[in-house]
Structure 1
Amino acid sequence: MNAKYVLVFAVCSHGSLVLGHPSFMDLIPNGHGVPDPCGSTNIWFGVGHNNRTGGGIANVFGADFLKANMTWSKALCMADSDIDGRSNGVELGDPDCKWTAGATPQGKAVGHPGVCEPMNTKTCMAVNLNVQCI
């Protein structure tokens, strides 16, 4: 198994608890408009969590966001937290990593930075072990 997958699995299954706060959505581009990767037409409000409403176990993006001191940085933007081949910035509509808090992002969010997509691939199924689509 690839070392990065092992790391992702360890982070996801570690059980770290983080409280979801709506104000955190203001700290990332399009934080209030991240699409639900489970296929519904809903918005995923708990972007850093494994369930759409927040709270509970942090997902891989939530863990990276915490490591970045809850700041949208170029490094966090360029990272691919969920290892689906798209950077967090691309998924959140800031492909050039120029967004700053309070500004309008370049585009709309096109994916979820903490949920590997497409969800039914072998790689993504391992990353998304704790994602709750209910």
Structure 2
Amino acid sequence: MIYQSIYVLVICSIGSLVNAHPGFMDLIPNGHIVPNPCANSSIPWVGVGHNNRTGGGIANVFGAAFLTAKMTWTRDLCMADSDIDGKTNGFELGDPDCKWVQGGTPANKPVSHPGVCEPMTTKTCMAVNLNIQCI
């Protein structure tokens, strides 16, 4: 019985980590205006760490890296290329020199999404983006 309770507690805890929360957008540079990588869409991708634009569900590769960084914009997270598209997370989010601090103004506007490999139609990116939902 105690193991079932622990199991439920762990599952609930994990579930709370993978839901998109607007406050998380404040923890990364330009978090409120991350470009939508889906074709012909100008609506920002508010669930930055998720496979779908609005958040919730499974974390994308950037979301997983963000969790590993304890939901903190670190130099390591900034310098990483989570979506393996050849651009660092910092470059994609407008902080190429990794100098942004929470509450500050990023050096640049974001240029792409750090959790979605782009261009999406390349063979490498299609494998990385297998669960990305462009709906």
Same fold per superposition (TM over 0.5)? yes
Query: How much has 1:50 moved relative to structure 2?
Result: 0.3
Aligned-partner SS, 2:76:
helix
Q: Distance in 2 between matches of 1:69 and 1:57?
A: 17
Q: Deviations over 1:27-54 (max 9, x none)?
A: 0000000000002111000000000000
Q: Once the two structures are aligned, what percentage of the paired residues are identical? A: 75
Task: Report the equivalent of 1:125.
Answer: 126
- SS of structure 1 residue aligned to 2:26: helix
Q: 2:22 maps to which residue?
A: 22
TM-score in terms of structure 2 length: 0.87
How many angstroms does 1:113 deviate by?
A: 0.2
- Distance in 1, Cα, partners of 2:83 & 2:29: 17
**Does 1:31 find its partner at 2:35?**
no
Corresponding residue of 1:80: 81
Residue identity opposite 2:20 in structure 1: G
- 1:22 Cα shift? 0.4
Consecutive unaligned residues in structure 2, runs of 5 or more: 1-13
1:111 corresponds to? 112
Q: Residues 68-114 of structure 1, C-alpha deviation per residue, up to 9 Å, x if partnerless?
A: 00000000000000000000000000000000000000000100000
User: 1:116 Cα shift?
Assistant: 0.2
CA distance in 2, matches of 1:75, 1:20: 22
How far residue 26 of structure 1 moved from its aligned partner, in angstroms, is: 0.1
1:22-101 equivalence runs, <5 A: 22-39=22-39, 40-101=41-102
Distance 2:19 2:46 in 1: 12
Would you say how many aligned residue pairs link Structure 1 and Structure 2?
A: 119
Moved over 6 A (4+): none
The higher-RCO structure (CA 8 Å, 6+ apart) is 1
C-alpha distance in 2 between matches for 1:33 and 1:109: 7
SS at match of 1:107: coil
Which ranges of structure 1 fall in alignment gaps of 5 or more residues?
A: 1-15
What is the rounded CA distance, in whole Å, between the counterparts of 2:98 and 2:33 in structure 1?
A: 17
